[in-house]
């Protein structure tokens, strides 16, 4: 994301945090019935989430939907959760595939509307672990429809690492790698402020004396230690990533050997026979559980609801999980899908749900009555770190 976009994000974060109490007190209405489609629907989505066969003809869950519904699908890809929040704040979109570090900000800012799950027949098939998840459910109201979930994995070059690295320290601490060369200038990090949680998760185990229990709930002392680690990491990182396809190119051309990433990039590189693999290190991993949310001012509500139902079909869920390396929100998609295979969900981490620290927006008021560092500060400080050298 460009630096001017970050300024816009900080402004959005400030506005949304102020709006929380007001938004939660509003009297809301939700759609009561689905009518004739309006002819189109606009979706803000992560790269690789809405495929129409343009990258690979075998992966297309848009074309048939357009034919059957009469709703043309327009997609705007976003590289970070902050960018998604900014785009939805500006308006003009119907749906967004929001991760947990964006979803509650959208609810707090009054930018999304309550979902009427009675109008989505396939809601009953959604994984019970996701139906009432706190990142899209507020005061018993659903503001999102679960889409996919998964971990942020450590991708590594198999020519450099003959054995999989066991710790995130290969991207956080300067060291000599198995090939006898330093990791300086050869590792990457995600450029979204939520990456601070990855560093916190590493320090939770590396420095237990800090007492970090939750990577999204950091008091001032814990937070300062995490920021110091990220400042040191800045000297190792030649280029931060937020565009999935750019990172794929970086790993092919820039001599990079380790980075946090999504399974999507790993799968693409492996399919191109690049020497990469991925692992969830001993410290665990952060992760994302994404929900499709409906803008409060959507002009194509009927098409949007048609898409929400379509998004939960086992075929779409299984194909997407195969393509992205994610886990379906509909467990029945784990069987009988030609692309995913019957072991695909297990490979992608279906049974690791409890081991993932899912993205969510850090708040000042956190558990135990403690005062923690809020997201606005995370955004300001991470921008500063990336901008320094």
Condensed to tens digits (0 to 9), the pLDDT of residues 121-159 reads 999 999 999 999 999 999 999 999 999 999 999 999 999
Question: 329 near 317, Cβ under 8 Å?
Answer: yes
Average pLDDT over residues 183-210: 97
Question: 298 and 157, same structural domain?
Answer: no
Structural tokens at position 380: 């300001």
Indicate whether 222 belongs to any domain. yes
Q: Is the pLDDT of residue 201 over 50?
A: yes
Question: 322 and 200, same structural domain?
Answer: no
Indicate whether 66 belongs to any domain. yes
Q: State the pLDDT at residue 132.
A: 95
Structural tokens at position 333: 């998609």
Please, what is the angle between helix 3-24 and helix 100-108, to 10°? 60
Q: Name the helix (H) or strand (E) containing 229.
A: helix 220-234
Indicate whether 23 belongs to any domain. no
Structural tokens at position 326: 């994610």
* Cα(83)–Cα(194) distance, integer angstroms: 12
Four-residue CA torsion sign, 148, 152, 153, 157? positive
Question: 365 and 256, same structural domain?
Answer: yes
Strand partners, 328: 148
Question: 203 and 139, same structural domain?
Answer: no
Residue-wise pLDDT tens digits, 56-81: 999 999 999 999 999 999 999 998 89
* Cα(16)–Cα(234) distance, integer angstroms: 29
Domain of 186, CATH number, reads: 3.40.190
* Cα(362)–Cα(116) distance, integer angstroms: 28
Indicate whether 331 belongs to any domain. yes
Domain of 55, CATH number, reads: 3.40.190.10
Structural tokens at position 240: 């931060």
Indicate whether 185 belongs to any domain. yes
Tally Cβ neighbours within 10 Å of residue 363. 16
Question: 349 near 327, Cβ under 8 Å?
Answer: yes
Q: Is the pLDDT of residue 15 over 50?
A: no
∠ CA 268-273-278, nearest 5°, is 60
Q: State the pLDDT at residue 267.
A: 86
Residue-wise pLDDT tens digits, 155-178: 999 999 999 999 999 999 999 999
Q: Which domain holds residue 69?
A: 40-149+288-353
Q: Is the pLDDT of residue 96 over 70?
A: yes
Q: State the pLDDT at residue 352.
A: 85
Give Dmax (Cα) for the chain. Answer: 64
Indicate whether 167 belongs to any domain. yes
User: Per-residue confidence at 28, pLDDT binned at 50, 70, 90?
Assistant: low
Strands of 90-136 (E only): list them.
95-98
Average pLDDT over residues 263-284: 93
Question: 370 and 239, same structural domain?
Answer: yes
- Mean residue pLDDT of the chain comes to 91
Q: State the pLDDT at residue 349.
A: 86
* Cα(330)–Cα(308) distance, integer angstroms: 13
Average pLDDT over residues 306-312: 98
201 CB-near residues (< 8 Å, 6+ apart): 168, 215, 283, 284, 285, 286, 357
User: Per-residue confidence at 338, pLDDT binned at 50, 70, 90?
Assistant: very high
132 CB-near residues (< 8 Å, 6+ apart): 142
Q: State the pLDDT at residue 367.
A: 87
Question: 239 and 195, same structural domain?
Answer: yes
Q: Is the pLDDT of residue 388 over 70?
A: yes
349 CB-near residues (< 8 Å, 6+ apart): 150, 151, 280, 327, 356
Structural tokens at position 268: 């693409």
Question: 244 and 160, same structural domain?
Answer: yes
Question: 250 and 208, same structural domain?
Answer: yes
Question: 134 and 59, same structural domain?
Answer: yes
Question: 346 and 366, same structural domain?
Answer: no
User: Per-residue confidence at 94, pLDDT binned at 50, 70, 90?
Assistant: very high
Indicate whether 8 belongs to any domain. no
Question: 88 near 106, Cβ under 8 Å?
Answer: yes
Please, what is the angle between helix 314-324 and helix 301-311, to 10°? 70
Q: State the pLDDT at residue 6.
A: 41
Q: pTM (2 decimals)?
A: 0.83
Q: Is the pLDDT of residue 324 over 70?
A: yes
Question: 142 and 157, same structural domain?
Answer: no
Q: Is the pLDDT of residue 306 over 60?
A: yes
Residue-wise pLDDT tens digits, 176-187: 999 999 999 999
Please give the share of the chain, as a percent, with pLDDT higher than 90.
83
Indicate whether 189 belongs to any domain. yes
Look at strands 153-157 and 258-261 and give their pairing: antiparallel
Strands of the chain (E only): list them.
40-45, 72-77, 95-98, 137-138, 141-142, 145-151, 153-157, 187-188, 258-261, 276-279, 285-294, 327-328, 356-358
Average pLDDT over residues 197-219: 98
State the total domains in the chain.
Answer: 2
* Cα(116)–Cα(103) distance, integer angstroms: 17
Q: Which residue, among 43, 133, 131, has the nearest Cα to 95 in the 3D structure?
A: 43
Q: Is the pLDDT of residue 47 over 60?
A: yes
Question: 198 near 260, Cβ under 8 Å?
Answer: yes
| Residue linked to tokens 């999102």 | 144
Q: State the pLDDT at residue 273.
A: 96
Q: Which residue, among 253, 255, 256, 278, has the nearest Cα to 265 in the 3D structure?
A: 278
Please give the share of the chain, as a percent, with pLDDT higher than 70.
93
Question: 371 and 257, same structural domain?
Answer: yes
Structural tokens at position 341: 């295979």
Compute CA 368 distance to the chain's CA centroid, rounded to the nearest angstrom. 27
């Amino acid at each position: 994301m460009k630096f001017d976009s970050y300024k816009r994000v900080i402004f959005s974060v400030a506005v949304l945090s102020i709006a929380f109490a007001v938004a939660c007190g509003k009297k809301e209405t939700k759609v009561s019935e689905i009518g004739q489609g309006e002819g189109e629907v606009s979706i803000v989505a992560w790269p690789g989430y809405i495929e129409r066969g343009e990258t690979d003809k075998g992966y297309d869950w848009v074309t048939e939907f357009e034919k059957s519904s009469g709703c043309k699908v327009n997609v705007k890809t976003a590289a970070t959760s902050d960018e998604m929040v900014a785009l939805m704040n500006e308006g003009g979109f119907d749906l967004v595939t929001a991760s947990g570090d964006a979803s509650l900000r959208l609810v707090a800012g009054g930018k999304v509307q309550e979902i009427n799950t009675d109008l989505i027949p396939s809601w009953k098939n959604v994984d019970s672990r996701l139906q009432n998840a706190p990142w899209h459910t507020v005061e018993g109201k659903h503001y999102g429809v679960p889409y996919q979930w998964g971990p942020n994995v450590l991708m590594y070059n198999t020519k450099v690492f003959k054995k999989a690295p066991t710790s995130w320290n290969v991207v956080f601490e300067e060291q000599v790698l198995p090939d006898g060369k330093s990791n300086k200038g050869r590792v990457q990090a995600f450029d979204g402020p939520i990456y601070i949680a990855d560093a916190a998760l590493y320090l939770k185990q590396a420095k237990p004396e800090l007492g970090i229990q939750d990577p999204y709930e950091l008091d001032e002392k814990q937070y300062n230690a995490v920021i110091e680690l990220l400042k040191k990491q800045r000297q190792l990182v030649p280029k931060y990533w937020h565009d999935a396809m750019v990172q794929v190119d970086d790993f092919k051309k820039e001599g990079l050997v380790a980075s946090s990433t999504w399974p999507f990039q790993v799968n693409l590189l492996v399919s191109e026979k690049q020497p990469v693999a991925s692992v969830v290190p001993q410290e665990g991993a952060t992760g994302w559980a994404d929900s499709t949310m409906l803008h409060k001012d959507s002009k194509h509500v009927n098409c949007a609801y048609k898409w929400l139902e379509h998004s939960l079909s086992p075929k779409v869920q299984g194909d997407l999980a195969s393509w992205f390396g994610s886990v379906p929100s509909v467990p029945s998609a784990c069987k009988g899908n030609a692309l995913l295979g019957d072991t695909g969900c297990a490979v992608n981490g279906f049974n690791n749900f409890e081991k993932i620290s899912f993205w969510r927006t850090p708040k000042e008021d956190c558990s135990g009555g403690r005062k923690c560092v809020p997201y606005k500060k995370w955004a300001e400080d991470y921008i500063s770190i990336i901008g320094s050298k």
